[in-house]
Structure 1
Amino acid sequence: MAEIRRFPFLSHLRSESNAYVVRTRNGQAVARGRGLAFWFRPLTHSVAELPLDDREFAFVAHGRSKDFQEVTVQGAVAWRLGDPDRAAERLDFNIDLATGAPKARPLEQIETLVGGLAEQVVQRAVALHPVHALLGEALQATQQGIASAIQDHPAIVALGVEVVGVRVGDIKPSPEVEKALQTPTRERIQQSADEAKFARRAQAVDKERAIAENELSNRIELAKREADLIERRGQNVRREAVEAAEAARIESEAEAARNALAAETEAEKVRRIALARAEGERARLAIYETLEPKVILALAAQELAKKLNRIDHLNLSPEALGPMLQELLSAGTKRLGG
């Protein structure tokens, strides 16, 4: 804002370097330029001050897509007064010569114009595509089309306004449409998540099955080894039993052979003893055959006398006693006769 100092009959104005000032006297422009400072008479002069710095205006425009869906476009337009003389002719930039404040609001008028133009451009641009295209493959082309249409619009150029840049943000549908458009994507994401979950579960089941099969294989292998061990132990026991039986048989056969040999030896010994005794008896009997009966009786009596202490009963038949008594009597008679 320009700085004005008032004096009697005269005033002094000093503007900033980023302000364009048009000095008019009696309806004729007598001076114009950037950052002017001058004396003037308030009764005969008027002053217009135009800002030359860049400004930015944010807008929100609504439109309808080709498939009749409401969409909202947010953006911002950076602009400045490229031709201040033309702008001063079209809009009221005059200031109060007492305070230096603007008498009107020309900047708001420019922003209102830019906002209305943006609304029109957006409506025409979004009507060319359906909503799913505006949110997808046609988004960048639509944004560039909106920016170009605003920047080169004749109404803006006619005001002496230079569009420095246009920034168009995302195109957003209504909440209901957005939710409906998001549903397939959400379902695909959910389906992918479910498939991933199922895959993890299947993988876990496969791992558990592999572990169970491994454990079963280990148990089967262990059972086979135990069966082999039991069979080997049985074979060892059977072999030991067979060997023990064979050893016992051999021992028994050896014992039988020894016993048979001992029995045979004992029998041979007994036989020889019996033969010797028989020979002795035959010899004795042969001697007895040469003796007289009385001698034999005497010997018998002698033997009998030796064994009287062991004889409890003695039976003599008449046949044996008669001849013996006769012999005794004969012997006694002979002794008496002699």
Structure 2
Amino acid sequence: MVASQERLEQDLRSKRAPAPAPAAQSNVGPGPGDLRAGSGQSASERPAVEVRVTGFGRWKTVLVPPNAFVVHTRRGRNEPLHIGQGVSFRFNPAQDSYLVVPGAMQTILINAFCICRELQGVLVQAYVQWIIGDFGTAYRKLDFADSVDPMHLVNLQLKEQAEAAIKDKVSTMSVHEVLSDKQPIIEELTARLRDVAEGSDSGGGLGLRIVTVQIKEAVVSSPRLWENLQKPFRAEQNRLARLAEVTADTAIAERELAAERELAELRAASDAHTFDRDTSEQRRRADLEQENTRALTEMADETTRHALNLERERHEVEAQIERLRIERETEMKALELRARLELTRLEAEATHERALLEIERERMRAAIDNDQSPATIQSKLIDSLPEIVSKLPKPTELRSVTIGGSDSTTVAGLLAELSTVVGALRAVVPPTP
């Protein structure tokens, strides 16, 4: 445990080992040679705060990082020219000096080997975190001269004071109080460190501010004493464990008996329920079969009645269709008869009209013929002779007929001649069968 505490302390420290510095450079910033050799210095010799100095001779400027405190003094002046955090200034090496201190929070790891009220050794591990609160007071009262680790000496002093406070408080407490309640140690350590670092209301103090104080661990140095301290607790725990086992076994046995009784009751109830269920199922199935039979019978009867109704409706529909067909045929025949009668009437009327027209035409033709002169009749007959001749068949023999003794200038003579010609033609043309 102590080794791990030391490793943690080593990790929290800056990765620089203290190196002796010339007395001329303890209060004065680095010279030009130091700046030029910055890259040639080893990691263990580099200052805690990297400060850049620019310019040459008397016209130099010191550039301080923003997280570092600096105080700048000049020969012949009681008060510093510049003081604060991250303050840069002009620097004359002939008459000026400055001090740079890190402004980050510092952690102090404490391993206090204490003696309690029972004269038993106890190792108390704690840590304290602090920062600079008033640098104007701190740089006057504390030693920050080590340029490689300016906080080393301050941390060492605070560590010694913290260990003394822890030892004083633990010496008034018993081992049980130290191990069970660490708050009194924390309060005592915080009060003493704040009284030293921050001072009281009337003044004083080192210009520091305590951030936090914590107790990490408290360990009894004697393994035998630690074993003896653990024995009552372990015995009590064993007793509680054994009682718990007995209680658990008793509860398990009672639970098993109750479970067996419940299981027997459940089995009996299950058998009775099974018997009742089987009986109910058989009765339900019988009722269901009868209901199904009745339902099937009713459905068959309903189907038969429905089929008969459908057949009757079909016959009615067919009769209705046949009646409608007969009525339609009767109506069609009546319409055809009326149409035929109307057509016959119209034909009779048309024939009558045509006959009347023929009679009228014959009458008019007779009137026209009566009004024509014999010369006109002869000229029309002469004009129509070529057409009459062209329609006649080719004669097989030639006969000469001499018509005389009549006057062709009269109608009677002309008719006599025409009768003679027609008779000759009829003699020549064979009769049609």
TM-score of the aligned structures, taking structure 2 as reference length: 0.43
What is the CA-CA distance between 1:60 and the residue it aligns to?
A: 2.0
Q: Which amino acid in the other structure matches residue 140 of structure 1? A: Q
The answer for the alignment partner of 1:45 in structure 2 is: 96
What is the CA-CA distance between 1:117 and the residue it aligns to?
A: 0.7
Distance 2:184 2:144 in 1: 38
Distance 2:171 2:81 in 1: 49
Q: Which amino acid in the other structure matches residue 148 of structure 1? A: A
The answer for the alignment partner of 1:127 in structure 2 is: 171
The answer for the alignment partner of 1:97 in structure 2 is: none
From 230, 247, 263, give the equivalent of 1:199: 247
The answer for the alignment partner of 2:215 in structure 1 is: 168
The answer for the alignment partner of 2:322 in structure 1 is: none
Give the direction of change, closer, same or farther, for the CA distance of 1:48–1:205 in structure 2 (3 Å limit): same
- In the alignment, is residue 153 of structure 1 matched against residue 196 of structure 2? yes
Greater shift after overlay, 19-28 or 152-161? 152-161
Distance 1:183 1:195 in 2: 18
| Contact 1:151/1:165, CA 8 A, preserved across alignment | no
Q: Give the SS at the match of 1:106.
A: coil
Distance 2:66 2:259 in 1: 84
| Contact 2:60/2:92, CA 8 A, preserved across alignment | yes
From 154, 158, 169, give the equivalent of 1:110: 154
Q: Give the SS at the match of 2:151.
A: helix
From 13, 25, 33, give the equivalent of 2:83: 33
The answer for the alignment partner of 2:229 in structure 1 is: 181
The answer for the alignment partner of 1:14 in structure 2 is: 63
Provide Cα deviations, 1:189-235, integer angstroms capped at 9, x if missing partner. Answer: 11111111122223334445667889999xxxxxxxxxxxxxxxxxx
| Contact 1:83/1:161, CA 8 A, preserved across alignment | yes
From 24, 30, 42, give the equivalent of 2:73: 24
The answer for the alignment partner of 1:3 in structure 2 is: 52
What is the CA-CA distance between 1:125 and the residue it aligns to?
A: 0.5
Distance 1:81 1:65 in 2: 34
| Contact 1:146/1:168, CA 8 A, preserved across alignment | no
Q: Give the SS at the match of 1:128.
A: coil
| Contact 2:114/2:122, CA 8 A, preserved across alignment | yes
Q: Which amino acid in the other structure matches residue 226 of structure 2? A: E
- In the alignment, is residue 143 of structure 1 matched against residue 186 of structure 2? yes
The aligned runs of 1:219-230 (5 Å cut-off) are none
The aligned runs of 1:289-308 (5 Å cut-off) are none
| Contact 2:123/2:219, CA 8 A, preserved across alignment | yes
Distance 1:15 1:214 in 2: 87
Provide Cα deviations, 1:239-289, integer angstroms capped at 9, x if missing partner. Answer: xxxxxxxxxxxxxxxxxxxxxxxxxxxxxxxxxxxxxxxxxxxxxxxxxxx
Gapped regions of structure 2 (runs ≥ 5): 1-48, 266-433
TM-score of the aligned structures, taking structure 1 as reference length: 0.54
Q: Give the SS at the match of 1:153.
A: helix
Please state which structure has a larger fraction of its residues in strand.
Answer: 1
Give the direction of change, closer, same or farther, for the CA distance of 1:207–1:27 in structure 2 (3 Å limit): same
| Contact 2:57/2:92, CA 8 A, preserved across alignment | no
Identical-pair percentage: 23
Q: Give the SS at the match of 1:135.
A: helix
Number of residue pairs aligned between Structure 1 and Structure 2: 210
Distance 1:164 1:216 in 2: 72
Q: Give the SS at the match of 1:143.
A: helix
The answer for the alignment partner of 1:88 in structure 2 is: 139
The answer for the alignment partner of 2:129 in structure 1 is: 78
What is the CA-CA distance between 1:44 and the residue it aligns to?
A: 2.2
Q: Which amino acid in the other structure matches residue 100 of structure 2? A: E
Gapped regions of structure 1 (runs ≥ 5): 95-101, 218-338
**RMSD, aligned CA:** 3.0
Q: Give the SS at the match of 1:110.
A: helix
What is the CA-CA distance between 1:11 and the residue it aligns to?
A: 2.1
Q: Give the SS at the match of 2:81.
A: strand
